[in-house]
Structure 1
Amino acid sequence: MNVSVNPPSISFFTSATFRTETIDQRKFDKFTDSLGYFLKRKQISYSVFETGYRGDFRYPRYFPSKILSPFILHWIAIKSLFLAKFPKELNELKGLDDLYSYLKKYSDLMSINDFRSLLKRALLIKNWSEYLKEILKKEKPKLVFLNASYGPFGMAICLASRELGITSVDVQHGVSGKYHFGYGSWHNVPQNTGYEVLPRVFWTWTKFDYDAIREWTEASANVHEPIVGGNPFLSLFKIESSLSLVEDARVKLKENFKSQWKNVLITLQPHDKLHPIQKKIIEFRIPNVRFWIRLHPDMKREEKEILRTLSELSGEIETDLANSLPLYTLLECMNLHITSSSATVFEAQQFGVHTLICDSNSSYFFEDVIKEGMASVIKEDEISEIKIKEYLNIKSDQKQKSTDIETAINTLVKKFV
């Protein structure tokens, strides 16, 4: 959405996936729309380009955006992945498959069949970037904001921006830190040039996330650098908590609350759906406890299956309001949060809500929250009704102060616009 007749200073590239909140019966992008609110207050012009995730376009949108044609993006993908031809000499090069095997051995994330498929993925990034460059040439922004820069499309945005001399900014959207493959522990960063497919700036939520990225960006002579900008939607929620859009949600929530009951928010993740530990806790049927089950935005395809599974469980379960009301409105009223690996761990901390982490393998993402006593790892053999009741009575006043998001915007604008 442009807020002035001037060319936009900033362009956003986002996905319908991030329209996770429903406000005033419109789909709200918790990062782009939140940042847009602060930019409009400062009279900074911006534009938004949006893709649909797996054909999912969420309407009506809170603020307008320009839809990137799925037909063009898919056609580029087909040409790159299925129709691409490489020189015959490539087949004669020795060691390519050995190199691929080495990469496969040390990375569980390599889901590509052979080295030639890896080259096709690189070609896809390059071809998408050429398409995006034409858009950016017309827009002429000074800054490009995006989420999830570690995927092929995110890399294409970074590459297009880099080749046009535009500063790309990855806005943290969830778990980050030194153990995340997209944000931590990059080695051998080319000094003075960095990597062309990584963002120029990493917008982080906390000093903890900032430090994890700063560990390796110093070697790039600041070609890549982090900045603490805070969680945009959380900042908006706290600053504008008296807005009707928030108050209406609070009223609706309270109308459906049962007095003297405890409330537990369970956030699901696509890779494990309803975790066995979460299921076991629900089936304890603890008196006067209600479970609010919130699906991950990427679980649209699994929604019917999840709801069917939940319908077979006994206990007080709420799904409609848990998925239609803003997350932070829910967290204001929760006594406990349970997840396997959701970034809601960080957000629950902001509201003084303790988190039980079901997946011990993901606990290292939340080391700082665990250290501060706002999260605990729970194992299946440790679960008991008595133990859960103890956690339900934990309510902390340890709420972190929100980052001054406008200071971060000022820093970026002053340096790059």
Structure 2
Amino acid sequence: MRTSLALNFLNIQNQELKNILKLEENFNVDEWKILGLRIWPYIRISLSTAWVNKLNTINAEKTFLYKKSKYQSRLASIVRKVNSLKFYFSFLIRFASAFNNSSYPVISSSTKLTTGIFGFDVDRVHTDKGYYNRYSDSLIETGIIEEDKCIHFERCLLGSRTPFRPFVDITHYYWLSALLGWVLVPIFVLTVRLNPEISNAYAWCVSNSLDGSALKTRNIIFTYLTLRVQRELYKHLISKYRLNKVIKVGWYDVDGMALAWACNRAGIPFVDIQHGMAGANNHRAYSCWSKIPLAGYELLPSDYWCWSKVDADSIIDWYIYLNTYKSDKVRIIGIPFANYALTTSFNELFSCDEEINFLLSLTQKYRHTVIVSLAEEIPQIIIEAIKGSHLDIFWLIRYHPTLISKLDKIKSEIASLNNTEIYHSSTLPLYALLKICSCNITEWSATFFDASAMKVPTIFVSGMALTSFPEFLSSGEALFADSPVSLLSAIRNLPQ
């Protein structure tokens, strides 16, 4: 195993990653087990995700993205609790309906060895021939995977939508594992004993003002049970469809870890496809695993398909020390959808000339057209910039796919901002929109890489970008704005 002494610790810019490395330095995290399973990968991801969210909030406040009063914070907390209650009440309904979903084509069990591709319907983009998956369909269209040798599996978050290619709906696997986890937790809490070091690690987090919720016994047991149930369900899928390889878009959620565990037990490769920020950004799921068993963790992938050499090198940096490493385990494939966007068939499939021409008619009197790529709500810095540019800048506001169903409500909230468009900006392919834009604006998302592939500059507006994209900012490949004034200045200095 390696320790963080083998890493260039001082060069790590991400504070959350520094804290993770301190934990790996001070505790035997690779020996933390629950019923034989080394659970550190889940804890590492959960802890650092919580810390990133906290840091994002702090940096947002520092860069004037928003400042919440005590009243606003209290109201936001109440809203979260109400939404949680709504989730619990709708749980059984969604769980039952998942088993009776007949909206998708039925795919029978396989009679030959097959590659399984696992993903989410939020990665789908509308075409006249059905909703196209930016990952699985692009892998086929660009020739990385042969169509007759693979089968698609998806967890559906957005409801029934006609797919470009048929797939197996596995939404109920998620609900079943969560339900059984909730039911079994009280029993296991009374019988399972965890490594005492975990309690010490929790105390360390508290003493350093860090969220240590992922280290609480009840949370670890619930996660283990969820993973275990999903592992058994995925083992059934692997057997039923005779899968000899599994590919997953983003390994570092509970679904991905359970799938990795099932593949490890079945003795077949589990390939992670990079979904967004990764090794090039010191991402917690891909960078600086400083304490890891020589045989690896059962919850980690065996293979990685990366967007760039920098992303790949970040994985090889630690993977090379394991006895499971081989040179073909880390592969550079580029961004699948970006690769496809450069082909002639992309323009034929995504025939959105009418919509693009409509947008051009809206933007023709403006000096610049920019696209804003959002994960959640629109930051205040952008709202203020929009208000200060009604004469010379048109803003295409692109919301995350999970918010598409709320576009009408969102549109009404910013209806007074006449130099904006939301619907086409959120539903058309990003690459089609980038072709008519001066720049891409985002808080700190991986749309930077999409824009870069299309030779479109990105302006970041969150302090988190300073630690996630330092090399690109220092090289001038990306810009940073910390106020409406600096954002507008950066846009107006771009060539038309």
Q: Specify whether residues 369 and 94 from structure 1 end up closer, same or farther in structure 2 by C-alpha distance, changes over 3 A only.
A: closer
> Which residue of 1 is the match for residue 161 of structure 2?
59
Name whichever of 319-328 and 31-40 sits farther off.
31-40
Alignment of 1:161-176 (within 5 A): 161-176=263-278
More helix by share: 2
Provide the TM-score with structure 1 as the length reference: 0.83
> Which residue of 2 is the match for residue 277 of structure 1?
381
Which ranges in structure 1 are unaligned for 5 or more consecutive residues? Answer: 395-417
CA distance in 1 between counterparts of 2:290 and 2:396 reads: 42
> Which residue of 1 is the match for residue 26 of structure 2?
none
CA distance in 2 between counterparts of 1:47 and 1:328 reads: 26
Q: In the TM superposition, what whole-angstrom CA distance separates every residue of 1:372-396 from its partner, at most 9, and x where no partner exists?
A: 42211111175264443113x27xx
Partner SS, residue 299 of structure 2: coil
> Which residue of 1 is the match for residue 478 of structure 2?
375
Question: Is 2:386–2:395's contact at 8 Å kept on the other side of the alignment?
Answer: yes
Alignment of 1:15-414 (within 5 A): 15-19=120-124, 21-24=125-128, 26-39=130-143, 42=146, 44-53=148-157, 56-70=158-172, 72-84=173-185, 85-86=187-188, 88=190, 90=192, 96-102=198-204, 110-112=212-214, 114-177=216-279, 178-191=281-294, 193-223=295-325, 225-241=329-345, 243-246=347-350, 248-258=351-361, 259=364, 261=366, 262-270=368-376, 273-300=377-404, 303-312=407-416, 314-380=417-483, 383=486, 385-391=488-494, 393=495
Cα shift at 1:281: 1.4
1:326 counterpart letter in structure 2: P
Question: Is 2:404–2:426's contact at 8 Å kept on the other side of the alignment?
Answer: no
Cα shift at 1:95: 5.7
CA distance in 2 between counterparts of 1:47 and 1:380 reads: 47
Q: Specify whether residues 274 and 349 from structure 1 end up closer, same or farther in structure 2 by C-alpha distance, changes over 3 A only.
A: same
Partner SS, residue 145 of structure 1: strand
2:355 counterpart letter in structure 1: K
Partner SS, residue 243 of structure 2: coil
Name whichever of 232-241 and 104-113 sits farther off.
104-113
> Which residue of 2 is the match for residue 411 of structure 1?
none
Q: Specify whether residues 371 and 102 from structure 1 end up closer, same or farther in structure 2 by C-alpha distance, changes over 3 A only.
A: same
Cα shift at 1:194: 0.7
Partner SS, residue 311 of structure 1: coil
CA distance in 2 between counterparts of 1:109 and 1:203 reads: 31
Partner SS, residue 451 of structure 2: helix
Question: Is 2:461–2:480's contact at 8 Å kept on the other side of the alignment?
Answer: yes
Q: In the TM superposition, what whole-angstrom CA distance separates every residue of 1:157-179 from its partner, at most 9, and x where no partner exists?
A: 11101110110111111111252
Cα shift at 1:94: 5.4
Cα shift at 1:66: 0.8
Ranked by relative contact order (alpha carbons within 8 Å, sequence separation 6 or more), the top structure is: 2
Q: Percent identity?
A: 22
Question: Is 1:283–1:315's contact at 8 Å kept on the other side of the alignment?
Answer: no
CA distance in 1 between counterparts of 2:477 and 2:128 reads: 32
